[in-house]
Amino acid sequence: MNARFAWCFLAGLLLAPAWADQSQPAGSAPAASAQRRPSPPGAEVAIVNIKDGAVVATTFLVQFSVTGMDIAPAGTDIPNTGHHHLLIDVEELPDPNLPLPKNEHFMHFGGGQTEVELTLPPGEHTLQLVFADYAHVPHNPVVKSVPITIVVAEDAEAVQVGADKTP
């Protein structure tokens, strides 16, 4: 009897993944791993101290704002709250049903920070903010800034601070 039980148990372990896969129709996407939180109408985020086309030094300050929602640290699940994520040189937003990745292109500010001193190599770069919930999942609809393009200059004399100085 113990041998028969062992064989049935082993067969169940080996076949369970195949049975589980049959519950998902062929070619369909897997279910979203997170439930998206709603964002209120009119919610906005913005980069407030740098204008599109600004020329900046290799190390510069980026300041964020949010309107219509409140800032809360990552892990704090309160409606209409979230924290900033700065996207650097990202051409297309990732799947909004999944948590934002964390790498050199996606900076997380899960402590509720509203600014960062950023260092980038010389050249053209894009910056964009996305506001996401306690689990780093973008709200529905996604609360994001308009992407801006900046030029990081090696030469300090070429630097023009985006919104802080007028020509």
**DSSP string for 139-151:** EEEEEEPPPEEEE
SS3 58: coil
Q: Is residue 35 part of a domain?
A: no
Q: Is residue 139 part of a domain?
A: yes
Q: Is residue 55 part of a domain?
A: yes
pTM: 0.76
Structure tokens that stand for 19 in this block: 């049975």
Return the CATH number at 50: 2.60.40.10
pLDDT, tens digit, for every residue of 114-130? 999 999 999 999 999 99
Burial of 120 (0-12, 13-18, 19+ CB in 10 A): middle
Residue 113 belongs to domain spanning: 44-155
| Number of independent structural domains in the chain | 1
Q: Is residue 110 part of a domain?
A: yes
What residue type is 121 in one-letter code?
P
Q: Radius of gyration of the chain from Cα atoms?
A: 23
Q: Is residue 18 part of a domain?
A: no
44 against 162, higher pLDDT: 44
pLDDT, tens digit, for every residue of 19-70? 333 333 333 333 345 689 999 999 999 999 999 999 999 999 999 999 999 9
Contact 117, 149 (CB under 8 A): no
Q: Is residue 143 part of a domain?
A: yes
